[in-house]
Amino acid sequence: MKISKKMTIITLPFFIALLIGGVYLFTRPVNPKSNSTQKQAPNFTYALLNGKQVKLSDYLDKRPVVLNFWASWCPPCRQEAPILANTAKKYHGKVQFLGVVVNDTPEKAKSFEKEFHIPYPSGIDKNGAISAVYSVSAIPKTIFISKDGRIIAEWVGAINTKTLTGSIEKLLKTN
């Protein structure tokens, strides 16, 4: 079937607009609300890749948490992994990073962590239970939680260094 020039001229702008809209939807900041309207982060228990069972609440009260939902097969997750790893090292002792592995195997997740030198613990989100309570519809997703358990901000899509460090600095000021 031959596509006419007229058909291409009509449909090309539509597809470009659709692509731009999709990029915007998955890379925009989510929930940049003021402190008075922030909700409590749901607590959860999961098994880390090393087998240890932990709860989110085990880390809160000590320091704020950066919660990152990712998978080894996700290209934007691979893009942001070095940024998260370096930033986690920079803020070690001030902020706790935690990874939640979505729709992946422990073997592939461990390989991903080794490849990108991830210095913080991650665990598998079995049956998508954690993703469901945090309304994760796309990955990567990063959630910034104050040490008193309030969600300060969320970011959907690969996060860059400027946004990550800016959000962490804001997070540290809330505690």
pLDDT tens-digit series, residues 138-163: 999 999 999 999 999 999 999 999 99
Q: Identify the band that residue 174 occupies on the pLDDT scale cut at 50, 70 and 90.
A: confident
For residue 25, pLDDT beyond 70? no
Share of the chain above pLDDT 90, in %: 75
For residue 16, pLDDT beyond 90? no
**Cα distance between residue 6 and residue 13, in whole Å:** 12
Architecture of domain 5-173: 3-Layer(aba) Sandwich (3.40)
User: Helical H runs in the chain?
Assistant: 5-27, 75-90, 106-116, 129-133, 161-173
Q: Please report the pLDDT score of residue 6 as a whole number.
A: 58
Q: Which of 32-36, 65-69, 111-115 has the lowest mean pLDDT?
A: 32-36
